[in-house]
Amino acid sequence: MYKTDIDFQLLKKNIKPWGKSQKTSWRLYELNEHKPGYKKHGNMWKHFQKHGVTQERLVDWDIPPIVGNGATFGLQQQLNSARPSVRYLREMNIYDDTNLKSNVTNDYIVKNTDDKHLARDVHSAIKDFLGPLGWEEVRFSRFQQPSGEVTLAHIDAHRQFCNMYDSLEDPVLCGEIKIGVMFLEDWAYGQGFGMGKDVVQNWKMGDFYEWPWFFPHHTYNNSNVERNSLTFVGRKRLRDRQS
């Protein structure tokens, strides 16, 4: 969304060491923090309906909790007021079969739902919507946030995307990274998705929002119902791409 001074830097050069990449992202954010934190691109749900993807297929199964430590401790200007505690989140990648390097997550979905084509159908729906926007090589995951849970402020390093799609012949550049979210239920009072200085609320099921790849973001669910969403990381090639 916003041009930066490292748009043409190789993504793989910006993800290691982790601390340096985080400091770079926070610097870029400070240069752009006065700008809107997100752009709403419309609603994706008709594309999911076209490919037979119902809400039940997407959310009627639980994701096992995984450790989700606060990623930005020690790198923000504010000092920690308490010792960080281990937190858990529920997020699972849903790989397109054609890019499947590990079938662990697909096996979990099939075992728990007997839905053998969820990854294929979701991928087709996403391609219908994000393809015309210039997105390609899209990686996506389902995020399940129970009532009372939060995800602390953090900036993604995009390591997994780099591991999946980067190559010597066609290296991914920092400025080509795109990131977004689609909500799987209507907004409930007490829920929020923070992107930069802005907080998204009042969304409808299927609404899609994009935020800059180097912006901090966070979520909270202070409602009494579960919140589900799909998050996306993709690539949009720079027009004046340098060699």
Q: Tens of pLDDT along 64-96? A: 988 776 555 556 777 777 777 777 889 988 866
Q: What is the dihedral of CA 243, 212, 214, 162, to 10 degrees?
A: -50
pLDDT of amino acid 98: 57
Question: Hey, how many other C-beta atoms are within 10 angstroms of the C-beta on 18?
Answer: 12
* 153 within a domain of the structure (yes/no): yes
The residues of the chain scoring below 50 in pLDDT are: 243
* 168 within a domain of the structure (yes/no): yes
Question: Where residue 28 sits, what CATH number does that domain have?
Answer: 2.60.120.10
Contact 64, 90 (CB under 8 A): yes
User: Residue 66: helix, strand or coil by DSSP?
Assistant: strand
Question: Hey, how many other C-beta atoms are within 10 angstroms of the C-beta on 88?
Answer: 12
| Residue 28, H or E segment | helix 18-32
The pTM (predicted TM-score) of the whole model is 0.92
Look at the block and give the residue holding tokens 């977004």: 180
* 6 within a domain of the structure (yes/no): no
* 187 within a domain of the structure (yes/no): yes
pLDDT of amino acid 71: 54
pLDDT digits (tens, 9 = 90+) for 158-173: 988 898 888 999 999 9
pLDDT of amino acid 127: 94
* 4 within a domain of the structure (yes/no): no
Q: How many domains does the chain have?
A: 1
CB burial of 92-112 (b: ≥16 within 10 Å; e: otherwise) equals: bbbbbeeeeeeeebbeebeee
* 81 within a domain of the structure (yes/no): no
* 190 within a domain of the structure (yes/no): yes
* 242 within a domain of the structure (yes/no): no
Contact 214, 125 (CB under 8 A): no
For residue 225, give Cα distances in angstroms to 101, 121, 185, 187, 206: 34, 27, 10, 10, 18
Domain assignment of residue 218, given as a range: 11-76+87-235
- Whole-angstrom distance, CA of residue 40 vs CA of residue 25: 22
pLDDT of amino acid 70: 56
